[in-house]
């Protein structure tokens, strides 16, 4: 152990979160319609698998792009050799045009202000390295994506101070919550370098209101700090209100020539909108030349392959395809979202009204045995082991209220979703005493005991850290 670094030996990666632990349990017993029909159904993975056929159809119609050819001539050697880490100009141009199209072309983006990264994970971490020093803090509204505890903190040494949002106003950010979080950071002797938000929200599945976005601009202007808007779900908005990017708010306020304009940064990715997380395509957009220059240098540690850039530059440059894809994908997400909500309602479960993303923020507070996070963990344990559904507990998202869960709906077939809802319905009925089914009696095997002990310990440890 003495021969290894502190980074290797410390337990600050966040992998021990119940969010990741649920994945581990799924991988031990994954559902398969034919091979393992009683296995765990993965509902903790925010993947968009609803529009693969559209992508595959485009590839079939464009064999030269998939074969790395241009006008019938092979580009293999050119793409296989060293590439400047600034990225392929054709891809950067296609990407910023796609970003504008998703936003209804109400805003435009300068391809010279975009930095390519290996996914949004890399983009967020790179911005932490650019904007903050170890020990300094970013304010993040709760509930937030559990991976931020890893992405923002692990290698950078940056701290997260939660902006406590509640169900009282559907978890919207308020001025008082922002001020309270800022004061809490000061109590911890942490210099606040900025605020990070996800819009649309992960895990809420909602778009931020203009009033919230204006509130954030006012706040960072007053405090002279940064704002990062993670907009990787911007193309998944399927209902009203429509998505409003922070860049649109800045332009409406005519902030282009004001200093605050350089302190707002956007993170984007093709992982959710195009359903291509395995391609590892992310981006940082910033109006600060120094941030762009530094982030570009850092991107050499996590480049997007030239082959990927070429293929996607061809795809995204096909405007007929992108227009149809965006419209059809949003239509399919809306239908699948409606299917999940209907299934939950049939089981007597409601969720936060949402209009975007690949999941719902589900309210199971009425199923808790007590209003505690211990009860939430016990319910989650039953759902994972007895109902055989992997969902994400609200405590893993740092929600302040026990009983909320994130449930994904776009990473499975409709048939699998129907099965998941049927399992959940039977479980709720058994809890209500209308069906005394033995398979839902709490089993006290050693594996589940160790799971509970581990998650409780982690949950308490995390909350103790937040209270300091």
Q: Which residues are catalytic?
A: 145, 230, 232, 272
Residue 440 CB partners (closer than 8 Å, separation 6+): 382, 386, 387, 426, 427, 430, 431
How far from 165 is each of 172, 190, 448, CA to CA, in Å?
6, 21, 31
Q: How many residues does the chain have?
A: 468
Q: How far apart are CA 454 and CA 456, in angstroms?
A: 6
Q: How far apart are CA 284 and CA 122, in angstroms?
A: 9
Q: How far apart are CA 412 and CA 395, in angstroms?
A: 24
Q: How far apart are CA 246 and CA 263, in angstroms?
A: 12
Burial of 445 from C-beta contacts in 10 A (0-12 / 13-18 / 19+): exposed
Q: How far apart are CA 252 and CA 107, in angstroms?
A: 10
How far from 82 is each of 65, 286, 307, 401, CA to CA, in Å?
20, 26, 12, 51
Q: How far apart are CA 388 and CA 107, in angstroms?
A: 44
């Amino acid at each position: 152990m003495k021969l290894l670094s502190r980074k290797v030996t410390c337990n600050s990666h966040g992998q021990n979160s119940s969010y990741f632990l649920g994945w581990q349990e799924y991988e031990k017993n994954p559902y398969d319609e034919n091979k393992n029909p009683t296995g765990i159904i993965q509902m903790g993975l925010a993947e968009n698998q609803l529009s693969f056929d559209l992508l595959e159809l485009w590839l079939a119609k464009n064999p030269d792009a998939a074969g790395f050819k241009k006008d019938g001539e092979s580009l293999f050697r050119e793409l296989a050799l060293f590439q400047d880490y600034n990225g392929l100009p054709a891809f950067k141009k296609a990407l910023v045009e796609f970003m504008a199209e998703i936003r209804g072309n109400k805003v435009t983006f300068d391809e010279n202000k975009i930095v390519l990264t290996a996914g949004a994970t890399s983009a967020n971490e790179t911005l932490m390295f650019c904007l903050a020093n170890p020990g300094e803090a970013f304010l993040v509204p709760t509930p937030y994506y559990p991976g931020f505890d890893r992405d923002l903190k692990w290698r950078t040494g940056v701290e997260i101070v939660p902006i406590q949002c509640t169900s009282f106003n559907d978890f919207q950010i308020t001025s008082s919550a922002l001020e309270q979080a800022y004061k809490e950071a000061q109590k911890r002797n942490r210099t606040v370098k900025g605020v990070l938000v996800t819009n649309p929200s992960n895990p809420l599945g909602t778009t931020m209101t203009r009033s919230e976005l204006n509130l954030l601009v006012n706040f960072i202007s007053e405090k002279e700090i940064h704002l990062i808007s993670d907009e990787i779900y911007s193309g998944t908005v399927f209902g009203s209100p429509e998505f409003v990017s922070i860049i649109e708010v800045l332009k409406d306020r005519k902030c282009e020539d004001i200093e605050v304009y350089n302190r707002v940064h956007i993170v984007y990715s093709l992982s959710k909108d195009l359903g291509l997380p395995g391609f590892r395509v992310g981006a940082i957009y910033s109006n600060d030349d120094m941030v762009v220059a530094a982030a570009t240098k850092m991107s050499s540690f996590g480049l997007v392959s030239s082959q990927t850039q070429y293929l996607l530059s061809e795809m995204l440059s096909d405007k007929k395809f992108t227009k149809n894809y965006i419209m059809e994908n949003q239509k399919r997400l809306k239908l699948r979202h409606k299917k999940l909500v209907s299934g939950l309602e049939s089981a007597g479960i409601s969720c936060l009204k949402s209009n975007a993303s690949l999941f719902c923020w589900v309210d199971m507070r009425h199923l808790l045995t007590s209003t505690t996070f211990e009860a939430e963990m016990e319910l989650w344990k039953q759902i994972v082991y007895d109902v055989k559904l992997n969902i994400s507990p609200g405590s893993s998202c740092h929600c302040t209220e026990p009983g909320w869960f994130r449930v994904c709906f776009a990473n499975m077939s409709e048939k699998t979703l129907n099965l998941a809802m049927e399992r959940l319905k039977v479980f709720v009925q058994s809890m209500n005493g209308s069906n005394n089914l033995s398979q839902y009696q709490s089993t006290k095997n050693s594996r589940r005991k160790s799971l509970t002990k581990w998650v409780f310990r982690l949950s308490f440890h995390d909350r103790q850290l937040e209270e300091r």
